[in-house]
Homo-oligomer: A and B are copies of this chain.
Amino acid sequence: MLKTVDSISRMQTFVKILKKEGRTIGLVPTMGALHEGHLSLMRAAKTHTDVVVVSIFVNPLQFGPSEDFGKYPRDFARDEEMASRVGVDVIFCPKAEEMYPAGYSTYVNVEGLTEGLCGASRPGHFKGVTTVVTKLFSIVKPDIAYFGQKDAQQAFVIRRMVENLNMGIDIKVLPTIREKDGLAISSRNVFLSKEERREATALYVSLKKAESAVRGGEREPRAVIAAIEEVIRECPSAEIDYISIVDTQSLKDVTVIAGEVLIALAVTIGHTRLIDNTIMKV
């Protein structure tokens, strides 16, 4: 039976009981607008932990002033039904006024990993993410927390934060779930028009082309980036934010493709910013 908890103190009380009973907790932090990507995380949590908590909180702190906080898709009834179907135990959906009361002033920041890639065009975004995730971790006290590989930089940043702050939480990062044509599933895909939706496949196609170039022996980042760019430029509605090949430790651009690299891109199609990525070991 799915339980909905919308107050921090009630969630804390419930967590105390679970801990006393020795039950393990899996947390899937989301902003709602649940999709197959989220469901795959919940299913994994079901197999690993005794009690699965899904947080639904559209975190104002991680949106820039010109970003889509206001129009971010929200449909709680649908989310509840989806979570219930995969056997989630608790939806934790705190109110913004309780998460960030007047005078709120504490922030967690991972320096170094957050300035490049999405951080460059979304200043403050990752500070918002690490702050809210720290709060959710404090409240829910999960043994394991689940994140999607689609938000690769976010996953690296959270892993680093958990390690640096000795949070003792196991962070599991699960593969990106895709539509049949390869488009990474995202809550923002609903914003795409039919034509934009068709063009959006280019992100996946371009990454596949990059992968085969690297597999074919290409070690020059600029050549691989050019190959990706070529695919994206064929889409009339697409505007490239970045295409980067970075080291997975530092998230800094590599000069030669070697070791483990993240090939990541952000592209705005029409008015919708989409991201995708692939990790390669060479």
A: residues with CB less than 8 A from B are 8, 12, 19-20, 22, 103-113, 130-131, 134-135, 138-139, 160-161, 164-168, 249
State the 8 A-B residue pairs at the shortest beta-carbon distance, nearest first: A106-B164, A138-B166, A105-B112, A105-B111, A106-B110, A139-B166, A106-B161, A138-B167
**Pairs A–B under 8 Å by Cβ, sample size 22:** A8-B166, A103-B112, A103-B249, A105-B110, A105-B111, A105-B112, A105-B160, A106-B108, A106-B109, A106-B110, A106-B160, A106-B161, A106-B164, A107-B108, A107-B109, A107-B111, A108-B108, A108-B165, A109-B109, A135-B166, A138-B165, A138-B167
Q: Is the CB of A164 within 8 A of B112?
A: no
What is the chain B residue whose CB lies nearest that of A15?
Answer: B168
A108-B104 Cα distance, complex, nearest whole Å:
14
Known pairs A105-B164, A108-B106, A166-B139; A22 contacts B20 (CB<8 A)? yes
Q: Is the CB of A165 within 8 A of B111?
A: no
Which residues of chain B are within 8 angstroms of A111 by Cβ–Cβ distance? 105-107
Most chain B Cβ neighbours within 10 Å, of A109, A166, A167: A166
Which residues of chain B are within 8 angstroms of A168 by Cβ–Cβ distance? 12, 138-139
A131-B105 Cα distance, complex, nearest whole Å:
14
Q: Pick the contact of A106 from B104, B105, B165, B249 — CB < 8 Å? A: B165
What is the chain B residue whose CB lies nearest that of A106?
Answer: B164
Which residues of chain B are within 8 angstroms of A107 by Cβ–Cβ distance? 108-109, 111
Which residues of chain B are within 8 angstroms of A161 by Cβ–Cβ distance? 106
Which residues of chain B are within 8 angstroms of A139 by Cβ–Cβ distance? 166, 168
Which residues of chain B are within 8 angstroms of A20 by Cβ–Cβ distance? 22
Known pairs A105-B111, A107-B108, A111-B105; A165 contacts B135 (CB<8 A)? yes
Which residues of chain B are within 8 angstroms of A134 by Cβ–Cβ distance? 108, 165
Which residues of chain B are within 8 angstroms of A166 by Cβ–Cβ distance? 8, 12, 135, 138-139
Which residues of chain B are within 8 angstroms of A108 by Cβ–Cβ distance? 106-108, 134, 165
